[in-house]
Amino acid sequence: MLRWCLILVLWLLMALSWAVPAGARQSLPVDTGKVTASLITDHDSVAPGQSFYIALRTELDDHWHTYWRNPGDSGEPVQVDWTLPDGYDAGPIQWPLPRPIATGPIINYGFEGAPIFPVKISVPNTAQPGDVITITADFYYLVCKDVCIPEQGQASLPIEIGEPEIDAQWDTEIKAALDATPKRKGLSGTITKTGESLRLQFNKLPEGDYSGAYFFPYAQGVLGHSEPQNVTIGTDGIEITTKPEYLWEDPTPKSFSGVLTYEVDGSYTGHEVSLAVGQSINIGAVSGGGGSASLGGATLFTAIFGALIGGLILNLMPCVFPIISLKALSLTKSAHAERAEAKRHAWLYTLGVLATFLLLVAVLLALKAAGTSLGWGFQLQSPKVTGVLALLMFVIGLNLLGVFEIGGGLQNTGQGLTQTHDAKGSFFTGALAVIVATPCTAPFMAGAMGYAFAQPALVTFAVFMALGLGFAAPFLLLGYAPKLLTKLPKPGPWMETFKQFLAFPMFATGIWLAWVMGNQAGSTGLSLLLIAALLIGFAIWLWPRGGLGKAIGALAVLGALALPLSLTTAKTASAELKSAAWSPEAVQAALAEGRPVFVDFTADWCVTCKVNERLVIDTAKTKALFQDTDTAFLIADWTNKNDMIAAELEKYGRAGVPLYLVFTPDKDSVRGEVLPQILTYDVIETALRGTN
């Protein structure tokens, strides 16, 4: 009897399995904290050469949201990285319709509820029937409510190769998501900046309710995301007025694209729209509305002015002083000679400054276009560069002391480096001054640099050309000011003493660079640098000792250069730094505890950072303030390349350090208050206590 019951149960289970349609292909759900994510597909089996869809399906906790492809004023878009077999290809995310999401005064673009992110997968013709492939997705999203939490996970889905077989459950849901994805449908319009107002006009629109129409640009910088979009409805179209953003500085792009959303029979819908930059169009008789705006932030004029002032101030920074002192020594030598010669050297120095600034900017823009996150002063994030520069300062110092001479004497730094005529030496003195000057971020420069790197390339080059002109201006002025030149002391024995004295600032600069490199590459890297300096000293001693001495000396120099060029970034950091390291989640965790947060974006090669730390931050008074206010002190150390820190700097319109942020629980928890680059105790206290 028991055996027959078991047979009956097995028969019923088999019958049920036959009755249930095949499908419901879904990965195991991944709970990342505030989101439960999984992979779903519209096919359980696919044929060679076929395309099908896999989607990241997310279920968010109530009132939490993730972000669209353009996240708005803050946030990060949902990201999915696919691991596919050879020959398979994944297309872009088919983004759902976004909605404006308010967080205090900030407007973001994103999703709540259970958004689905479909992606088309292409199967190669060479796929073998009968195979079962595995598709893996690594996904990341920033999920926010009152605080923001970055979450990530991984999910995998097996797919059979054979006869196409649609998934009975998920095909319908994925099709619905694709149908709701905004389509182009031939819609177009115009966008015009008139004075301080941005006007978007649309005509020949489908039937619908446009009273709450909203335009979501694909690109950052088109319009103020947190500014109101005021709708005017005409008989032949609609107009939206709002505020422009930084992309409207010359040269202006010819068109912008985005998504226009509206309602049809109470349902939220939208379409892709291309907006031509140009003349207004006729939207017919209007029935209301309109709006006005003002342009905020930096402009091209203020950025250029700030760069000029910043360039002038750079000449006073300690990291630049040794180099420009050498140029001053060179000018003193020629001050009482031909005026034309002084002008020529002043222009060659200026040309060296400008060419090096523009070269660094070109390299930086090219690397950023290739997807590398870098900022100003990027060259000193490489221990190879800091090591070679430290050796260069060591060699220049030895030359100034008279340990060796090249070409009959050092006229200026460039001659010692290149063994060329004095004129070319002026050019390379300017080049070396720029390379050493970039870590010294002067006041007025941060906003101008952040603005410049957010603009088209021509604007970026214009701002940095102004920075270079400001940097070179003092020496250019001396070249054209005979009366000033005659005030300089005449050449004499004192100049040899002064030249030797300048060796010691050079050695000091070399020590600073060696310290930076030691923090980057660790004690092993510092040891290699010292060995390289020993080899260079040995080569200098060998050089005058005949042909064999020159040959061995040349090998020693090559070996010395190979040592710093072999350096790599150290992987470890001190326990103290780790315990106070900055991250977005560390900021939000402290705010959730009701604590204010002070974030120090710094780098060992940033002189301004180190001065602020020594004179203001690392003082008993400031430490007592942090303790009294229960402030979380976080350090974002950019000594070595760090993409997350670079992205955060860019978010605040900065291209380099220092940057000081204060977050307080009673204010916006997403965007911190930016403090001045030149810190004082009173500035920090006012930000933390809210006192005047």
Sheet containing strand 132-144, strands side by side: 79-83, 132-144, 148-161, 43-46, 165-166
Q: Which residue has the higher pLDDT, 277 or 195?
A: 277
Q: Is the same domain home to 56 and 89?
A: yes
Nearest to 245 by CA among 185, 186, 198, 283: 198
Give pLDDT tens digits for 571-618: 443 333 333 688 888 888 888 888 899 999 988 767 677 778 878 888
Domain boundary among 180, 200, 215: 180
Nearest to 261 by CA among 308, 191, 206, 325: 206
- The predicted model gives 451-464 an average pLDDT of 69
Contacts 24+ apart (CB under 8 A), 572-576: 572/522, 573/637
CATH number at residue 205: 2.60.40
With cut-offs at 50, 70 and 90, classify the pLDDT of residue 692.
very low
User: Which token pair is 505?
Assistant: 């600032």
Q: Is the same domain home to 445 and 560?
A: yes
Give pLDDT tens digits for 337-350: 566 777 777 788 88
pLDDT at 217: 94
Least confident span in 439-448, 544-553, 653-662: 439-448
Q: Is the same domain home to 120 and 250?
A: no
Q: Is the same domain home to 168 and 215?
A: no
Look at residue 224 and tell me whether its pLDDT is greater than 70: yes
In a domain, residue 627? The reply is yes
In a domain, residue 8? The reply is no
- The predicted model gives 149-161 an average pLDDT of 91
Name 616's Cβ contacts closer than 8 Å, sequence gap at least 6.
622, 679, 680, 681, 684
Query: What domain range is 236 assigned to?
Result: 188-277
For residues 281 and 594, give the distance between their C-alpha atoms in angstroms, rounded to a whole number.
Answer: 52
pLDDT at 18: 37
User: Which token pair is 411?
Assistant: 């006229």
In a domain, residue 6? The reply is no
Residue with tokens 């040794």: 322
Distances 290 to 196, 287, 510 between C-alpha atoms, Å: 14, 10, 61
For residues 463 and 470, give the distance between their C-alpha atoms in angstroms, rounded to a whole number.
Answer: 11
The angle formed by the CA atoms of residues 540, 541 and 545, to the nearest 5 degrees, is: 105
Name 199's Cβ contacts closer than 8 Å, sequence gap at least 6.
191, 192, 193, 239, 240, 241, 280
pLDDT at 289: 37
Sheet containing strand 66-72, strands side by side: 66-72, 106-111, 99-103
Least confident span in 293-297, 525-529, 646-650: 293-297
β partners of residue 676: none
- The predicted model gives 286-315 an average pLDDT of 56
CATH number at residue 619: 3.40.30.10
Strand pairing report for 89-93 and 116-122: antiparallel
In a domain, residue 677? The reply is yes
CA 361 to chain centre: 14
Q: Is the same domain home to 162 and 203?
A: no
Contact call for residues 377 and 360 (beta carbons, < 8 A): no
In a domain, residue 449? The reply is yes
For residues 485 and 331, give the distance between their C-alpha atoms in angstroms, rounded to a whole number.
Answer: 8
- The predicted model gives 484-499 an average pLDDT of 64
Domain boundary among 180, 212, 233: 180
pLDDT at 368: 57
Contact call for residues 292 and 229 (beta carbons, < 8 A): no
Cα torsion through 555, 561, 564, 565, rounded to 10: -110
Nearest to 209 by CA among 270, 163, 166, 297: 270
Burial of 127 (0-12, 13-18, 19+ CB in 10 A): buried
- The predicted model gives 502-518 an average pLDDT of 75
β partners of residue 109: 100
Domain boundary among 521, 544, 565: 565
Other C-beta atoms closer than 10 Å to the C-beta of 635 total: 19
In a domain, residue 345? The reply is yes
Nearest to 70 by CA among 18, 24, 97, 110: 110
Contact call for residues 677 and 608 (beta carbons, < 8 A): yes
pLDDT at 36: 94
Give pLDDT tens digits for 411-429: 343 334 433 445 667 787 7
In a domain, residue 313? The reply is yes
Q: Is the same domain home to 375 and 226?
A: no
Look at residue 120 and tell me whether its pLDDT is greater than 80: yes
The number of distinct structural domains making up the chain is: 4
Instruction: Please give the model's pTM, rounded to 2 decimal places.
Output: 0.43
For residues 144 and 66, give the distance between their C-alpha atoms in angstroms, rounded to a whole number.
Answer: 7
Distances 384 to 433, 507, 516, 569, 660 between C-alpha atoms, Å: 18, 19, 11, 9, 28
Distances 75 to 13, 101, 153 between C-alpha atoms, Å: 49, 11, 18
Least confident span in 35-44, 384-393, 401-410: 401-410
Which DSSP string corresponds to 522-535?
Answer: HHHHHHHHHHHHHH
Q: Is the same domain home to 410 and 484?
A: yes
Q: Is the same domain home to 449 and 496?
A: yes
Q: Which residue has the higher pLDDT, 158 or 352?
A: 158
Q: Is the same domain home to 677 and 542?
A: no
Burial of 179 (0-12, 13-18, 19+ CB in 10 A): exposed
Q: Is the same domain home to 174 and 233?
A: no
Dihedral sign, CA of 271, 276, 277, 279? negative
For residues 613 and 615, give the distance between their C-alpha atoms in angstroms, rounded to a whole number.
Answer: 6
CATH number at residue 160: 2.60.40.1250
User: Is residue 231 within a helix (H) or strand (E), and if so which, with residue range?
Assistant: strand 230-233
In a domain, residue 287? The reply is no
- The predicted model gives 21-49 an average pLDDT of 84
For residues 327 and 422, give the distance between their C-alpha atoms in angstroms, rounded to a whole number.
Answer: 11
For residues 197 and 223, give the distance between their C-alpha atoms in angstroms, rounded to a whole number.
Answer: 10
CA 145 to chain centre: 25
Distances 349 to 14, 319, 471 between C-alpha atoms, Å: 88, 18, 10
Name 185's Cβ contacts closer than 8 Å, sequence gap at least 6.
206, 271, 272
Q: Is the same domain home to 170 and 249?
A: no
φ, ψ of residue 41 in degrees (nearest 5): -140, 155
Q: Is the same domain home to 543 and 647?
A: no
